[in-house]
Amino acid sequence: MTIYALIFYLLAILILVTTGLAITRRDMVHAVVYLIFSFFGSAMLFYLFGAPLLAVLEVIIYAGAIMVLFLFIVMMLKIETVRQRLFPLNQWLPAAICGAAYLALGIGMVVSDPNSQSPLKIAQADPGAFGKFIFQKHWLSIEIVSLLLLVAAIGALLLAKRSKQGPVQKTSEGEL
């Protein structure tokens, strides 16, 4: 077994474990943090497969922007959880193990890469050509994403409006 196969299997196990921890957590903040670990593992997997741009986009878009948005939504909804210590001791061990494993795998990937010693070629993309490529070949995906963002924005506005109005009054015919 090569070092790349070993790194692949370790990353796959870590992604599965952190995703499983994200699904099984009762505290939403902990679930979001474990999902961020899962996204970092996916980014490392993309890098291992020779797609560093996808790895960077995974970290910036998913682990950065979307998870921060989820974290803000969780904090805005003010979901009450059982009052515990800020960081319970049973959460330290899984977090420390996952963090150490990701750190070791990341260092191993960078050190074992034969191309890490050679300078990278400069890649240039004309923004006009990139825009034409995206909107000519993938226009349906762009439209679907824009529709999803519109629905999410409308939902956020409705939630914000409903929280400002106060509690909903019930009548015999339904909500007012």
Domain boundaries, the chain: 1-81+91-115, 130-176
**pLDDT score of 170:** 61
**pLDDT score of 78:** 65
Region of residue 174 (left: phi > 0; alpha: psi -120 to 50; beta: else):
left
Is residue 5 pLDDT above 60, yes or no? yes
The residue type found at 15 is I
Quick one: DSSP state of residue 78? T
- How large is the average pLDDT for residues 36-59? 86
**pLDDT score of 42:** 92
Q: Please tell me the distance from the alpha carbon of residue 51 to that of residue 123, in angstroms, as a whole number.
A: 14
CATH top-level class of 1-81+91-115:
mainly alpha
Tell which wins on pLDDT, 66 or 11: 11
Q: What is the pTM of this model?
A: 0.52
